[in-house]
Chain A
């Protein structure tokens, strides 16, 4: 066998081994999902994180949600109506696997705090046309146990205007304090502990 062929076969074996190792390491990480962390409510003093609202940086004022295509699962019509509460606002779309992976953490937080303390707004910005129908969104919300208000951003005006820069992503999760200031901003899965700590600190300051 010429040396170039032997090199290629050896490299292929190494590459496949690296792929199998990567898959196995991912599986073992999935065995300890960060989203399974217990979420505990409390005041600034006893939220268990040592973090106070003053420790959470102010990133920027939250823009309003404009030119929406409607709301589902709520009577509210604007973010202003939630002033005084902590709001987790997430841009999502129901077929996005990474968005779905964040839902257990949001559910845990939603169950832990009262509606006078914390509200979640899922801003649904569809990637594909089959995700645009409100009926399909409601059906998916039921299947996924998404019980919080859903703002319909079907034309994705807010999806693009909220996300600075040239590229917008799903999911993107913000935490907005009672004064309408963004205090947490994260693209993609993960940072669940930071999200929990931020919410606990801000709720403790209400």
Chain B
């Protein structure tokens, strides 16, 4: 489990990991309040949908209409995170939606540890759940760190609002890219730069 966590941390800057890292960070920034609860629920949404995908319970790729639907859901979720009137439970739900949608479009970098999980997943979905959660925890470390920093350092209202605006702008861009099917083009560009 620790090895899976370490592998995820090592691969954080790779384009394939950024498809999970960026939506998570955007959610932690967007949240007007309870960023830690949002980061935790984003992590939970990613872990659950990711696990359903690797164990073959749900399809691995989105059709154009499901991309559009996910894009709209993500748009609503980031909007809910940013809105002042949103209740705490709704923020947690929005975090779950962001995490689940990110996991639904994620193409993993299959290193040794994740490879070991994926090889076992079809036959032993329950057995790989914990190591997979550890892997997703490693990927989620940046979003959780951002949320902890916001709680721990409690910036002034103006700074907090500015951070939320950055987060929601990132989130809206992600929603539009997913909905229009252009998300993979952005990842392709990141891959090209990383070569």
- For residue A170, which residues in chain B have a CB less than 8 angstroms away from its CB? 110
Q: Which of B36, B54, B115 is in CB contact (< 8 Å) with A190?
A: B115
- For residue A23, which residues in chain B have a CB less than 8 angstroms away from its CB? 6, 9-10
The chain A residue with its CB closest to the CB of B142 is A19
- For residue A101, which residues in chain B have a CB less than 8 angstroms away from its CB? 111
Q: Bound complex: CA of A167 vs CA of B108, how far in Å?
A: 11
- For residue B54, which residues in chain A have a CB less than 8 angstroms away from its CB? 167
The proximity string for B residues 131-174 relative to A, scoring 1 for CB distances below 8 Å and 0 otherwise, is 00000001001001100110111100000000000000000000
Using C-beta atoms within 8 Å of the partner chain, give the interface range for chain B. 35 or more
Q: Bound complex: CA of A8 vs CA of B34, how far in Å?
A: 12
Contact across chains for A15 and B141 when beta carbons are under 8 A apart: yes
Contact across chains for B141 and A95 when beta carbons are under 8 A apart: no
Contact across chains for A169 and B108 when beta carbons are under 8 A apart: yes
Contact across chains for B6 and A26 when beta carbons are under 8 A apart: yes
The proximity string for A residues 172-187 relative to B, scoring 1 for CB distances below 8 Å and 0 otherwise, is 0000000000000011
B124 at the interface (CB under 8 A from A): no
A188 at the interface (CB under 8 A from B): yes
- For residue A21, which residues in chain B have a CB less than 8 angstroms away from its CB? 6
A16 at the interface (CB under 8 A from B): yes
Known: A12-B145, A167-B53. A186 touches B119 (CB 8 A): yes
What is the size, in residues, of chain A's interface with B at 8 Å between Cβ atoms? 39
The minimal Cβ–Cβ distance linking B5 to chain A, given in whole angstroms, is 6
Which residues from 36 to 75 on chain B have a C-beta closer than 8 Å to any C-beta of chain A? 36, 53-54, 56, 58-60
Q: Bound complex: CA of A20 vs CA of B183, how far in Å?
A: 30
Q: Which of A26, A166, A169 is in CB contact (< 8 Å) with B110?
A: A169
The minimal Cβ–Cβ distance linking A49 to chain B, given in whole angstroms, is 20
- For residue B180, which residues in chain A have a CB less than 8 angstroms away from its CB? none
The minimal Cβ–Cβ distance linking B170 to chain A, given in whole angstroms, is 21
Q: Bound complex: CA of A166 vs CA of B9, how far in Å?
A: 27
Flag the segment in A54-62, A70-78, A104-112, A123-131 that touches B.
Answer: A123-131
The chain B residue with its CB closest to the CB of A185 is B119
Q: Bound complex: CA of A166 vs CA of B104, how far in Å?
A: 13
Q: Bound complex: CA of A26 vs CA of B118, how far in Å?
A: 20
B105 at the interface (CB under 8 A from A): no
Contact across chains for A25 and B6 when beta carbons are under 8 A apart: yes
The chain B residue with its CB closest to the CB of A189 is B112
Q: Bound complex: CA of A13 vs CA of B167, how far in Å?
A: 23
Q: List 16 A-B contacts (CB under 8 A).
A: A5-B153, A6-B152, A8-B36, A8-B151, A11-B152, A12-B145, A15-B141, A19-B141, A96-B109, A101-B111, A130-B192, A167-B53, A168-B60, A171-B110, A189-B115, A190-B112
A binding-site residues for B, Cβ under 8 Å: 4-6, 8-9, 11-12, 15-16, 18-19, 21-23, 25-26, 95-98, 101, 127-130, 164-171, 186-191
Interface pairs A-B: 3 shortest CB-CB: A188-B115, A188-B110, A190-B112
